[in-house]
Every structure is written in structure tokens, then in C-alpha cells.
Copies of this chain bind each other. A is one copy, B any other.
Amino acid sequence: MKHVDELLKDVPKISVQKYTAKDFQSDQDVRWCPGCGDYSILAQVQRVLPELNIPKHNLVFVSGIGCSSRFPYYMDTYGFHGIHGRAAAIASGLKVARPELSVWVATGDGDGLSIGGNHFIHICRRNIDVKVILFNNQIYGLTKGQYSPTSEFGKVTKSSPYGAPDHPFNPLLVALGAEASFVARGMDRDPKLLQNIIRRAALHKGTAFMEVYQNCNVFNDGAFFTFTEKETKDDNVVVLEHGKPMIFGKEKDKGIKLEGFTPIAVSLKDGKYSVNDLIIHDEKDTMLSFILARMSNLPNLPRPVGIFYAVERQTYEQEVARQIESSITKLGEGTLDKLLNHGETWIIK
């Protein structure tokens, strides 16, 4: 049986040139609403990709359905706009079939966590090396404004005129509960941070989950402004940096410290606490990642962003490949003759 490489052997190999962001812009008109946060996410991906030196033709963006899921159309790579909620499953098949490709998923809070929740937790546990960007705008954009599984309790939307009765998911906790090996949170309006996350995710071997706060200026405008706007941002966001203490505030004068397992915000100004009292972020600490992820559920705390968790563990497709190789080593490459004639047969004359 020929392997894909062989089938493509006549194709002239293009030497990997130095790409620019522009090289990743497809010829399709971008059809998001003017002002939509999706534009920034697209831009950051296009900015980071050139650094990675992955040949364009080895990149695939897979998506489901939603505004965010239009993403692949705008990337000048291979792109697959799937059906609602199934991007992770499609991407799983593709990556297992073709481990040499760099496979990315663009999904929304509805696509990825409502209808697609099951595929999402399963890709996390399997640790298939797919990079999942979840555009969290806490609303169903494409269907014009129903609440989503990340919308806050009591949110008034078209489908919840009296307020959403659902307690929302914390996407990071869901991913961690499913034992994702890479978990991060970025924001459309913090390009640098987002680029950094995308870069790290790209380099991670295994499922890399990125929640991105994304403003839907039509149906849920300002949902994250506390965390993204200049005036409020510094006091309401704490950026996680591996090995560094959790400091935040306009003046860098506040920090996060643990009381038991509960993070609390403390001032570094009044001399009661110093940097030494603060949590030192450790991307490899599973339990810390849970604590930090849960901070969004707790009052009076800044919102952590950045890379919460990043550990390496075997990927699903590596094990599949290993089994195949070891079987071939043991039994030899399968042939049609072998298949048809192995085991018990008899001859009639």
C-alpha cells in the first residue's frame, strides 16, 4: 500500500520560503461585521504563522458553523468548513490519518461547547495534536443572538427574554476536567498576548486549547470590556507567566496569593504582603491550573489570561503510528495475497 508521501512524490517540493502575514490571507472577502473581534484573532494567527516555518500547504484549518467558523475561508491554507459542532471530530480523523499536517480548529462557544461539547472533551482526553481556538463571545452570533453555554446566568437574549436560567460553563475548567494538555486564554484586544499563546500552542505536541475572549459588537457588545479596555484592564486582568509571581494592577501593585486553595487578591503597597507571598505561576502544575481556571467563577478577583497549563503527554496518533509500525516490523507490510490466504483455507479441485 502506498503511503501519501509516495502518492505526492511527483509534486515539486517548494522550499519553505519566508512567509509574511499577507501570505496567509486568502482571496476571499472577509465577511464578519465591521468591528467584530474575529478580525483580530485572524490577524494574530496570520502574524504568528510565518514564524513557524510550516509550509502553507501543510496547514489545515477546520471549523464548525458559526461566525467564528468562517475562519478557514480567510486563511490561505487548506480549509475545511464543517458542520455545526463537529470540527474536533473531523480534525481528529484528519490528524490521525495524516500526522504530518498541522491541524487547527476554529470554533465558537456554541459550536465547541454546546453542540460540539462531546467531541471537544474527547479530543482533549485523547490528546490528538490539534490546536483548538475557541472564539468565546458568550453568544450565538450567526443565528442572531441567542444565549450560549458561556453566557452568564440571567442574560437577556432573544431566546431568554426573562434571563438565561443556565449556569454557564467555564471553558478552561471543562478542558482541564477532560485532561487537556495545553490550556490557555487570550483576548481579541490583546494582540501580543494572543500571538504568544498561538505560538506556544503551535509548538505544543498534543491538543492545545485556547479560549479567546471575542467581542461580538452586534449581539453582545462589551462583554469583555472590563478585561480588554484601557481604563479597566490592568486592574481586572492578571497575565500568567511561567515562573513569575502573579502581579497585576496599573501600578503592578497587586498580586494573587493563595489562602488554602482559594486565590485572593492582595495589595503589595501597604507592606502587609510582598511578592514572595504570591503564587508563582507554574504551567506544569495540574492543580494550580484548576485553581487559576476557577478564578473566573469567583468574585473580586482579576481574570487570569495567558497559558494556564502546558504539559507533554503521548498523543493518540503517536500510539496509532507506533502500533502500525510495530505490526509491520513483526508481520511485514500487508499484501492482498496475505490477506486473502491467511488462516484456514482449503482447496477444491
Contact = CB atoms under 8 A, between A and B. Distances in A.
A174 B118 CA distance: 11
Interface stretch (A3-11, A17-25, A139-147, A176-184): A176-184
Nearest to A173: B177
A36 interface: no
A126 B114 CA distance: 12
Interface of A is mostly: helix
Given A287-B262, A290-B287, A167 B179 contact: yes
A35 interface: no
A333 interface: no
Contacts of A125: 149, 166-169
Interface in A111-157: 114-118, 121-122, 125-127, 149
A140 B126 CA distance: 18
B127 A167 contact: yes
- A: interface residue count bin: 35 or more
Most chain B CB neighbours (cut-off 10 Å) among A163, A176, A291, A319: A319
A335 to B, nearest CB: 20
Interface string A174-204: 1111110000000000000000000000000
A323 interface: yes
A149 B122 contact: yes
Interface in A285-341: 285-288, 290-291, 294, 297, 313-314, 316, 319-320, 323, 326-327
A170 interface: yes
B323 A121 contact: no
Contact of A165 (B118, B122, B177, B323): B323
A346 interface: no
A118 B177 CA distance: 13
Contacts of A320: 165
Interface in A91-119: 114-118
B117 A166 contact: no
Contacts of A319: 163, 165
Nearest to A326: B162
B122 A313 contact: no
Nearest to A126: B166
A262 B162 CA distance: 44
A167 B290 contact: no
Interface in A263-300: 285-288, 290-291, 294, 297
Interface string A236-276: 00000000000000000000000011100000000000000
Interface of A: 114-118, 121-122, 125-127, 149, 162-163, 165-170, 173-179, 260-262, 285-288, 290-291, 294, 297, 313-314, 316, 319-320, 323, 326-327
19 contacts: A121-B169, A121-B174, A122-B149, A125-B167, A125-B169, A162-B326, A162-B327, A163-B319, A167-B314, A167-B316, A173-B179, A174-B178, A175-B177, A177-B177, A261-B286, A262-B287, A286-B294, A287-B294, A290-B290
7 nearest CB pairs, A to B = A177-B177, A261-B287, A118-B118, A165-B319, A117-B118, A162-B323, A290-B290
